[in-house]
Amino acid sequence: MPIAFSSEDLGRVFPSRTLTRGRTLVLAGAVEVHLDGDAIAGSVQERGTRHAVRIVPSALGRRVVFDAGCGCGAAACVHLAAAAFAALDRFPALRRPEQQSFFDALVASPVKEKQKVVFELAAGLPPHACFVSVILVGERTGRIERTTPAQLLADAGIGGDVHALATALGGGDQTRTGIPPGRVAGLLPRLAQSGLARWQATARALVSGETRNFVAGAPPPLPPRSAVIAGDAGSWYVDAATGAVGRIHLQQVRPRPVPGRVVPDRPARRVAPSASVEPVIVERAFAPVLRLTRLECPDEGGRLQVFDALLVDFEYDGIRVHADDDRQFLRVEAPGGPVFVRRDRAAEASWLEALLQDGFVQMRVADGAAAKGRRAFLFRGRDAVERWQAFVTERVPALQALGWRSLIDRDFGPRVVGSVGICDMRVADAAQGGFSLDLGIEIEGVRHKLLPILMRLHERGGMEAAQIVDGEVVTSLDDGRILKLPAERIGRLLAVIGDLIEAARRTGDDALVLDAAEAPAVLDLEELLTARWQDAAAIAARVAHFRGVAEIPEVAVPAGFTAVLRPYQQQGVNWLQHLRACDLSGFLADDMGLGKTAQTIAHIVVEEAAGRLDRPTLIVVPTSLVSNWTAELAKFAPHLRVAVLHGLDRHERRDHLDGIHVVVTTYTVLARDIDAMQHLSWHLVVLDEAQAIKNPAAKATHAVCRLDTRHRLCLSGTPIENNLGELWSQFAFLMPGLLGERKTFSKRFRTPIEKKGDVVRRRQLARRIRPFILRRTKAEVAAELPPKHTILRRITLAPDQRELYETIRATLHEKVHHDIATRSLAQSRIVVLDALLKLRQVCCDPRLVKLPSAQFGATSSKLDDLLEMVTEMVSEGRRILLFSQFTSMLDLIRPRLAAAGIAFVELRGDTDDRATPVRRFEAGEVPVFLISLKAGGRGLNLTSADTVIHYDPWWNPAVEDQASDRAHRIGQTKSVFVYKLIAADTVEERILDLQERKAALAGIAFDTEVAALPGLEFEDIDFLFGPATDPLAA
């Protein structure tokens, strides 16, 4: 097998014209090659003669050289170039990765995802009218892999349309297939109609378009990044904005008649008396010719430099003349004597106007035929190379389709970088606890600054605005050399660097200086670049916290802790102690019912036994959980002295905390007393049900952030209930600065993840927070826990209740529509929520709706069904937790239970004595516990219950799960049945659909593969308020 080589290796041996001609021979099918040991052997036919060729590639340092011979006898001939290209096309193993070491550390997607086949159309370069690349796009991540028509045809599982297109492309083994002009008319319509193709420049799906009329000689009326594709049977357009593909009908503009104008090719008048042949004036068609060359011109500073330039000529009967030539007539020698061709100045001007849209700078250069010189067209600025690249690849084919001829001089265009090596980043400590990043790239053996290249791409609009050709980003160096970098990898790098550029304190010496909070970005970059640490002890230590710990040491829990921890709970205590030892904070986010309280108390006991509890620990809880925490502390750590700062006498107790180990207070009290509490020093602050500070603007959130403490700990089974902004708010307390400023976090993470499903951003966010979150689910660690069964019980509304529901629904739907139309969906939020509330109340019981028509006559099918259920269950010995969001609904349930002779206890927000109803239910004195969802949905241990009933669905499924887990938790020995009562074909049933969408968001803190949360759109409003599918159902 010959050693691998690349087209860049060929470029060092063969002139560019030879390579172009060689590629043409390959496309014409004139080349046959095979492998013969270490050599490539074959033959090339040209002009009826077949030439035998043999090529032996060999390594010379980092380059590849070729020992080659051809039957034609010439060195570095077109036949050898053609054979080398054919070998690369036919034998993929010979292709040497041109940038093998670039981003070697990129981590592939851990799970093989489902992919869809996409045929990507791109503008062509002669001799190709266009190119079609075959790619595989991940349906979840959008990750792109390249494939070939041959590989598609070898896959028995592909669909018929894919098979047909792969066959139409010739079934070759190239990822990109060149399409000659003769095949354009047959292929483009098939691509547009397939639903499988897109336009490479904008990724817009291709669709069939109508025939469009274009004016000959005028710029095509197409959006930016569109193209004209010239075929043998006519030209086609591709509209980059819409993806439309259609034929072009060229309209010729007739020249305006000129008084006394002569008929073409007919003698008009005598120019001068002559005794022999009389010269005549004729009018002939002409062709515009653009020539790409290099000229010596002054730069911005007036210094003469050689630049790429465009010259325009007009050819009349083989004679070329430029626009600034003053001659009105061109002498042409004809068999019957000389004739003078009149130039069409107006038509020439219209052709020149076609170039104005491209943004050229015009200047005059010396020309011997015209005293005032001639116009040359140039691109100025640092992006000149990219603009020339775009002009050659996109505009030149479009102009050719309109009738232009093009000539490209051999020396036109910048030199392409020969080799690209390792990309690295140098990380160093900086002042004020920050660090610096210096990114570099090895180009032809020399390290260059990579940051300026990335910043230039970022400033120009990132990957969306980048010039991408054949899967590579085409950019330039300051010296004008062309640099090609893998597009997919550059996109990932820009996703990180773009954020760091905005977050940087400053940029100096082409390096970024960043705050220590950006340390996780180093890990993101380590996947893409080789890291070099230089005087970086502080930042290296901080980055190490985000790498994860291979093994956390076991911690002995003192005998003062009276319970026996389960293995996963012991691991939780080990983790909390590890964070404390590293001076870090953490979020214990175990599933509800797995003993977060017990693990926290064990952690405090370890601190006290080690003598580190020289200050009290402050535990902040919802008001409903004060008694639960004091009871658990007394149960698990009776030796700890506990004080409660709650009630009117809390101010006096606050002044006497000497010798106290643990202080328990509430979010409400803390917000009220923060001016006094902020002056107290704590060893540890624990926030139970930490989602209580999910609102960054809430008083409780501001209060906890003002506390003076060594260590911080958040507890919650549901860190996210609605959106990622809640996670930011909790981490703003837990680890200030880790997630950046609120506005920056929204731009960097929340919007891309929630609105766009950005997988890269999700992975970056998960990496930042994962080291500081410990999350175990019941399924993972509590195998002995009996199962929880969730049952949806759909209830058909009685005819009178259905009629009332439909009447109210139609009225509210119209009102909501009107409000949204006059304002906006965001501004109509209160109106929408109020309308939904009324519909939900009608489903629960018409008497809840504050409307006169709802107060009389209508029955409550759900309440009737509930009583039937509960009566039967109680007789079977079932013990029931009954939750409702509406305390007014509990008021309606109570008398019905009493009338049925069913004993019950109740817990709601205004219940002063919470311990008594809990004790009575757990003791078995009553079979039913009525609970307000918000008042009793968390913090209670009610493992004697085996049945949970949710009377009305709540928007947030996490809140319902919390309530259900009052029974389904450690200590439960019976299977738990959860019933959700749903009024069929109503807003309640449709809320369930939205619940499924929202449930995915909570996993972001723990899972990088979770789907994004879609926002509430206008269509969702119509869905929620839509009429019943069978409004007469009863």
- Is residue 537's pLDDT more than 90? no
Q: How far is Cα 179 from Cα 121, in angstroms, rounded to an integer?
A: 10
Rounded to the nearest 10°, the torsion over CA 516, 520, 522, 523 is 160
286: amino acid identity, one letter:
F
- Tell me the pLDDT tens digit for each residue of 849-906: 876 655 555 678 899 999 988 998 888 788 899 999 899 999 999 999 999 999 999 9
3-class SS of residue 327: coil
Answer yes or no: CATH 2.60.120.380 is held by domain 788-1025. no
Task: Report pLDDT for 16.
Answer: 66
Report DSSP state, residue 240: T
Task: Report pLDDT for 1030.
Answer: 52
- Is residue 421's pLDDT more than 90? no
Of the ranges 275-284, 767-776, 834-843, which one carries the lowest mean pLDDT score? 275-284
- Is residue 824's pLDDT more than 50? yes
Of the ranges 149-158, 661-670, 699-708, which one carries the lowest mean pLDDT score? 149-158
Q: How far is Cα 100 from Cα 264, in angstroms, rounded to an integer?
A: 62
- Is residue 437's pLDDT more than 60? yes
Q: Compute the average pLDDT of residues 723-733.
A: 90
Length of the chain: 1034
Fold identical between 567-781 and 788-1025? yes
- Kindly list the domain boundaries of the chain, sorted by start residue: 7-94, 115-251, 280-408, 420-546, 567-781, 788-1025
For residue 1001, what pLDDT band results from cuts at 50, 70 and 90? very low
- Is residue 1008's pLDDT more than 70? no
Q: Compute the average pLDDT of residues 36-42.
A: 92
- Is residue 278's pLDDT more than 90? no
1010 contacts 996 by C-beta, under 8 angstroms = no
H or E stretch at 731: helix 724-734
Task: Report pLDDT for 6.
Answer: 77
- Tell me the pLDDT tens digit for each residue of 592-631: 778 899 999 999 999 999 999 999 999 999 887 888 899 8
| Superfamily of the domain at 567-781 | Tandem AAA-ATPase domain (3.40.50.10810)
Of the ranges 248-257, 265-274, 656-665, which one carries the lowest mean pLDDT score? 265-274
Of the ranges 103-107, 423-427, 468-472, 534-538, which one carries the lowest mean pLDDT score? 103-107
> Which tokens belong to 807?
């009447």
Q: How far is Cα 722 from Cα 707, in angstroms, rounded to an integer?
A: 26
Q: How far is Cα 1003 from Cα 764, in angstroms, rounded to an integer?
A: 14
Task: Report the percent of the chain where pLDDT is more than 70.
Answer: 86
Task: Report pLDDT for 634.
Answer: 93
Task: Report pLDDT for 102.
Answer: 22
- Is residue 263's pLDDT more than 60? no
End-to-end CA distance of the chain: 78
> Which tokens belong to 634?
């007394």
Highest mean pLDDT among 291-300, 325-334, 866-875: 866-875
Q: How far is Cα 398 from Cα 218, in angstroms, rounded to an integer?
A: 11
Q: Which residues contact 979 (CB under 8 A, 6 or more apart)?
A: 791, 793, 869, 947, 948, 949, 950
For the whole model, what pTM was predicted?
0.54
Of the ranges 310-319, 352-361, 1014-1023, which one carries the lowest mean pLDDT score? 1014-1023
Task: Report pLDDT for 1029.
Answer: 63
Rounded to the nearest 10°, the torsion over CA 895, 901, 905, 911 is 30
Q: How far is Cα 581 from Cα 545, in angstroms, rounded to an integer?
A: 12
Higher pLDDT, 6 or 180: 180
H or E stretch at 684: strand 681-688
- Is residue 642's pLDDT more than 90? yes
Q: How far is Cα 759 from Cα 141, in angstroms, rounded to an integer?
A: 6
Task: Report pLDDT for 856.
Answer: 53
List Cα–Cα distances, 863 to 79, 891, 895, 904, in angstroms.
89, 12, 11, 16
Task: Report pLDDT for 637.
Answer: 95
Higher pLDDT, 250 or 278: 250
How many alpha carbons fall within 13 Å on the CB side of residue 306? Answer: 7
Q: Which residues contact 677 (CB under 8 A, 6 or more apart)?
A: 654, 665, 670, 703, 707
- Is residue 455's pLDDT more than 60? yes
Task: Report pLDDT for 110.
Answer: 35
Task: Report pLDDT for 1012.
Answer: 34
- Is residue 576's pLDDT more than 80? yes
CB-based burial label for 469 (10 Å; 0-12, 13-18, 19+): buried
Of the ranges 219-228, 468-477, 837-846, which one carries the lowest mean pLDDT score? 468-477
Task: Report pLDDT for 1003.
Answer: 43
Highest mean pLDDT among 94-108, 313-327, 454-468: 313-327
Higher pLDDT, 557 or 387: 557
- Tell me the pLDDT tens digit for each residue of 197-208: 999 888 889 999
> Which tokens belong to 48?
């009826």
- Is residue 37's pLDDT more than 50? yes
For residue 402, what pLDDT band results from cuts at 50, 70 and 90? confident
**Listed residue (719, 778, 761) closest to 1008, CA to CA:** 761
Q: What is the mean pLDDT of the chain?
A: 81
- Is residue 15's pLDDT more than 90? no
Task: Report pLDDT for 607.
Answer: 96
How many CB atoms within 10 Å of residue 458? Answer: 20
Radius of gyration in angstroms for the set of CA atoms belonging to the chain, rounded to a whole number? 38
Task: Report pLDDT for 1000.
Answer: 46
Task: Report pLDDT for 522.
Answer: 86
